[in-house]
Amino acid sequence: MEPLEGGLNPKRKMTSDDFDSLRCLGKGTYGTVVLVKQRSTGRLYAQKQFKKASLVVHKKLVEQTKTERQILESVNRHPFVVKLFYAFQDQEKLYLILEYGQGGELFTHLNTEKMFSESVAAFYMAEMLLAISHLHQTLGVIYRDLKPENCLLDADGHLLLTDFGLSKVAVDQSEDSCNSILGTVEYMAPEVIQGKKYGKAADWWSFGALAYDLMTGNPPFRGGNHAKIQENIIKQKLVLPYYLSMDAKDILTRLLRKDPGKRLGAVMPKDLQTLKNHRFFRKIDWKKLAAREVEPPIQPMITDPELAENFAPEFTELSLSPTVTSRDFWPGSPTKDDMFGGFSFVASSSLLESGGYLTSRS
């Protein structure tokens, strides 16, 4: 991997003035994601912003935000992981300038279709499998909370995994933080819900839960409220619909074992080979897939990338709040740049030259 030229890069650090905000792509406990256009190049990016004030309430979150940035920086070369182009800060906020997944969330497409055929599900599961195992092996990152919102599609319909712990970074205590943390409990492994020590096998449970959702239209364990869902994940027996093939039933059963030690994915690297060689993936050419040479089964409809047509209107129609000037920041607060020192980052030139969507492709 070539060194990231954060310090040596002739391209200067960015500031929020270098980008025009176009529309909101998502809002969560951690902050806001905005579609932005770089003024100097006309390129489109997703800008994730966090209020320092929400982070500083919890010292641990400051560290998590930095870790987040470092994780993104080190995975900058994986084809199915969102790329980080810039990180910078001002007095009030931290900013990450990320690859814009123009195709929107994979699960928005699932809602339109209601459920995917097994071959479509196998394609996206295969790309997801490569991304997850890359995070595990190369970085030792455990996702813990892999969920539908984190699975985006690029303009061509390939998977982009996003959000490494970002959703857990800035849990704003002023909002109903209980719901925010339990936003998508449906995909969490039993051991995570029970507060036990968990390892990488927790991600393979979530992978199984997402796969079940893709092929049936619902997550495997449901209930009327968070408590009931959690109880069902821990206690309820897995029920597989009759229409799934034997191969699909087999892989789901092995991924959705309550005991993490017995779950497929617990013994690496052996289980990675078992997964790749599973009959459910028999049509997947793993070499071609990793090289992005397999044509995705979903081709996102994009008439104008600036319209963010594949994102939920509940976000894209929100008005963009005016920028708060630093004067409105806490007077005499301890959150000066020293606390977030080392946050800023500029990607390598080769990445910058290849990245970002130009609105008018010449």
Which residues does the annotation mark as catalytic? 145
User: Helices H, strands E: what count in the chain?
Assistant: 13, 10
Query: Which candidate, 354, 324, 117, places its Cα nearest to that of 217?
Result: 117
Cβ contact 349:9 at 8 Å: yes
DSSP string, 123-167: HHHHHHHHHHHHIIIII----S---GGGEEE-TTS-EEE--SSGG
Cβ contact 19:47 at 8 Å: yes
Q: In degrees rounded to 5, what are phi and psi of residue 112? A: -70, -40
Q: Cβ neighbours of residue 178 under 8 Å, at least 6 residues apart?
A: none
C-alpha to C-alpha distance for 47 and 304, rounded to whole angstroms: 18
Query: Which candidate, 244, 180, 233, 237, places its Cα nearest to that of 211?
Result: 244
109, containing H or E segment: helix 106-113
Using CA atoms, how far residue 252 sits from 184, 308, 319, in Å, is 19, 33, 42
